[in-house]
Amino acid sequence: MHHRYMSLALELARKGAPDAYPNPLVGAVLVLQGEVIGTGYHARYGGPHAEIAAIEDAHQRGYRDLSQATLYVTLEPCCHYGKTPPCTERIIKERIGQVVIGTEDPCPLVCGKGIKALREAHIPLQVGVMKDQCRRLNPFFFTYHEKGRPYGLLKMACSLDGKIGWPSEDRDPPRAIPPNNQNGTHHDKGEPQSFSVIVPSRQTGSRWISGETSHHDVHRLRAHYQAILCGIGTVLADDPLLTTRLYPGKNPLRVIVDSQLRIPLTSRIVQSATQVPTIVATCASPEDPKAKALQERGIRVLSLPPMAKPQPDPEYVPEPHPATPGNSHGFPKQSKNPRTSPERVDLRELALHLGKEGITSLLIEGGSRIAASALAAGIVDRVRLYVAPFCIADPAAPSLPHPERGVPPEGNPPFPIPCLTNKAVPFYAKSPLSALLSRLTNITLSPCGEDIIIEGDPCSPVSSRK
């Protein structure tokens, strides 16, 4: 019985995203003699909490006496004054007969104090009903309070063979697609066959690997995250805006990792800094002339101590980038070996700094280098891959980061990726995609237009190949 009503409370809580952030998503249900008499959820930051909304809903339905009612709430009720009064005071004032709590609140201002206040008021409690589900409802909130940094989601798009870009400026390179796709679609109408290189269907002039539906989904993700992190390599190559243009939501704080302050003053990031809050994280001094020029244009320059200098890698080969040489934006070509650069931003220190500023969620976008660095720094809590149903099949094309450490669970071999038609697409067991997936747990798959979304939690530790 408890699971039934707590499940309803969880469903209600999800309605609060993204307007409730950075507060947690919370849902509440009031039940009297097996009948739901009031429901509520935390709908927006600074607004009424779920418990208050459920109580007010019950009153509007004509239920004034709640002494025999049971309140189901996904998170421990607050007991402090913030933007709203304590929920525990209202629960005690209403003389609610019983309270069932999904999980304790990790915030130091609450953290068991709400439960203690209700027990001291002699209100019967049951704590821990569907605890795991209630914790998973709020990964941002729990990561922030338990680790002191924002929850990190690494987002990348790739082909079936793990390529994240084209080998040159050619916007319509040949791609390997099942030969029975006569009309150029990516939906396999027959049994899996060997791949051959044919003219692709996405001849739109776009440099992106993922499809239109995935592009819109990425903008939706951005609206749900407080901050978005991107490396200087992507800025130089693609000149992105990193906004929510395709989704009606708030733009995230943009965080550009630029150890040597190479960001062009003519880039769209800099040009739009007065409209979209932007941080450039660097190892350079805030007194550097380039830093002052950025500050004059509305960018906050965050100078951080550099990470320990890595040893030069004699086997390192610079990864070709689709925008070099001579990219279309006129930005300087990337020529530095990042493994021998004198100073690099410590991403873990950057994440902790963002946590101190109250940032609870961080969407990590960019290329293989920033992805590998984020995984190695331990700031990635989940990986989200938009996998396009074709292969680029070119060794010169940039690839997903190749993890070398991390202990995958037993019995977690590469697996076939299902198409939207439930037919299996041949999986490339030795590809960068396979290597990365072998280091993920709790893997889920879901369709996204022509593409497939694969998500998983990184094994710990994860590092890029040296």
pLDDT score recorded for residue 280: 98
Kindly report, residue by residue over 91-131, the tens digit of the pLDDT: 999 999 999 999 999 999 999 999 999 999 999 999 999 99
Q: Whole-angstrom Cα distance, residue 75 to residue 141?
A: 11
Question: Could you write out the DSSP letters of every residue in 282-342?
Answer: ESS-TTSHHHHHHHHTTPEEEE-PBPPPPPP-TT--PPP-TT-SS-TT-PPPP---TTT-S
Q: What is the mean pLDDT of residues 340-344?
A: 66
pLDDT score recorded for residue 122: 95
Q: What is the mean pLDDT of residues 49-74?
A: 96
74 has pLDDT over 70: yes
pLDDT score recorded for residue 319: 43
Q: Whole-angstrom Cα distance, residue 387 to residue 401?
A: 15
The residues, any chain, with a CB within 8 Å of residue 220's CB and separated by 6 or more, are 244, 247, 249
Kindly report, residue by residue over 230-259, the tens digit of the pLDDT: 999 999 999 999 999 988 889 999 999 999
pLDDT score recorded for residue 429: 59
The DSSP letter of residue 16 is G
Q: Whole-angstrom Cα distance, residue 292 to residue 309?
A: 26
pLDDT score recorded for residue 343: 83
Q: Whole-angstrom Cα distance, residue 452 to residue 259?
A: 34
**Helix (H, G, I), strand (E, B), or coil: what is residue 68?**
coil
In this predicted structure, which of 49-58, 84-93, 168-177, 376-385 has the lowest mean pLDDT?
168-177
455 versus 418: the higher-pLDDT residue is 455
* Residues taking part in catalysis: 51
Q: Whole-angstrom Cα distance, residue 160 to residue 53?
A: 47
pLDDT score recorded for residue 459: 85
Q: Whole-angstrom Cα distance, residue 128 to residue 276?
A: 41
Q: β-pairing, 35-41 with 27-32? A: antiparallel
Reading the block at residue 250, the tokens are: 């708030």
262 has pLDDT over 80: yes
Q: What is the mean pLDDT of residues 137-159?
A: 96
Q: Whole-angstrom Cα distance, residue 223 to residue 402?
A: 29
Confidence grade of residue 166 (pLDDT, cut at 50, 70, 90): confident
Percentage of the chain modeled with pLDDT above 70: 77
pLDDT score recorded for residue 304: 94
Q: What is the mean pLDDT of residues 316-329?
A: 43
453 has pLDDT over 50: yes
Kindly report, residue by residue over 374-386, the tens digit of the pLDDT: 999 999 999 999 9
Q: What is the mean pLDDT of residues 206-210?
A: 78
278-282: strand order across its sheet: 300-303, 278-282, 253-257, 227-231, 361-364, 151-158, 382-387, 451-458, 440-448
pLDDT score recorded for residue 366: 87
Q: What is the mean pLDDT of residues 264-279?
A: 97
16 has pLDDT over 70: yes
Q: What is the mean pLDDT of residues 280-288?
A: 95
pLDDT score recorded for residue 404: 57
pLDDT score recorded for residue 81: 85
For the chain, the farthest-separated pair of C-alpha atoms sits apart, in whole angstroms, at: 76
In this predicted structure, which of 48-62, 149-163, 268-282, 333-347 has the lowest mean pLDDT?
333-347
273 versus 171: the higher-pLDDT residue is 273
154 has pLDDT over 80: yes
90 contacts 52 by C-beta, under 8 angstroms: yes
Q: Look over the chain and give the mean of its residue pLDDT values, rounded to a whole number.
A: 83
**Helix (H, G, I), strand (E, B), or coil: what is residue 411?**
coil
325 has pLDDT over 50: no
